[in-house]
Structure 1
């Protein structure tokens, strides 16, 4: 399976605003401002079909559940081209969110403008913003990948989240996430 690394967007970059439809409800639309957390906000780009996403999704949901109660906003976004990748269609996003017990919104970026604004490159791609909406972490969940035998821990992302919640220094030397490329429209 081809691997794409995340773009290491400059730390301190302000979160881009958006207004996208939430596929967990199918009716509501939200902005970044609507969903951001008191302590910080995790924006993750995922999709329904990527084996890298399937590999990490259980840990991602645990992280969301562990930290939402501590003031972290969690926002999942799918930006894939659904014409060429129908398995990522909005209706299937709703099913994917339900099957994986999402307690956070799963937004559909139909125009792909949000993925471009965030410089997202792969799924999963993680962007952690502090309480001032400044990028504090962009990188991997941990060193686990499909087939490499390293167990999931979420250690890299959890360490960064702890940093923004407990006002600790976050290591600026961050490893990029690795996953399937975002399926851009032609």
Structure 2
């Protein structure tokens, strides 16, 4: 069973049944009215009874409610409000916050009253981010001028950093060998004592 939250609010203007409701003056009161844009601060949907200005109107704020469709939508689509307070598919616009009232539970066309899983929230698609140029999507959009790993950072040319002999280091044993790795390894001074060094130490 899906719990449902229904709360009554005073209407600042007439609102019909099965409409998306918004806070009509969010900065000064909790009065509600019919939503008229996809950026309105929506809070839920009305039930089978609407109300006139000054009436207390029940608003479903979570759970399963019903709403009038303002266009063709598919089951599972995110829904927002059109100019008449009806539900339409939410299509995000870059750089714009969009108010989503919930998710359609069945397909429908304009004028249908169909169930909705109410869950008001903001929907946002950024116009760009610090990573949008470095990691574009889809990957095919990557430009040849994008920064890439320099040659000395590639996996086949990374020399061991641990200082241990290759046979003693698990990471070094699993790293592919290359000529640069062997040259760097051979250039590292040996730490093993030699007979000559032992004799000089005495």
Range into which the TM-score falls when normalised by the shorter chain: under 0.3
Which structure shows the bigger proportion of residues in helix conformation?
Answer: 1
Higher normalized contact order (CA 8 Å, seq sep 6+, divided by chain length):
1
Calculate the TM-score normalised by the size of structure 1. Answer: 0.23
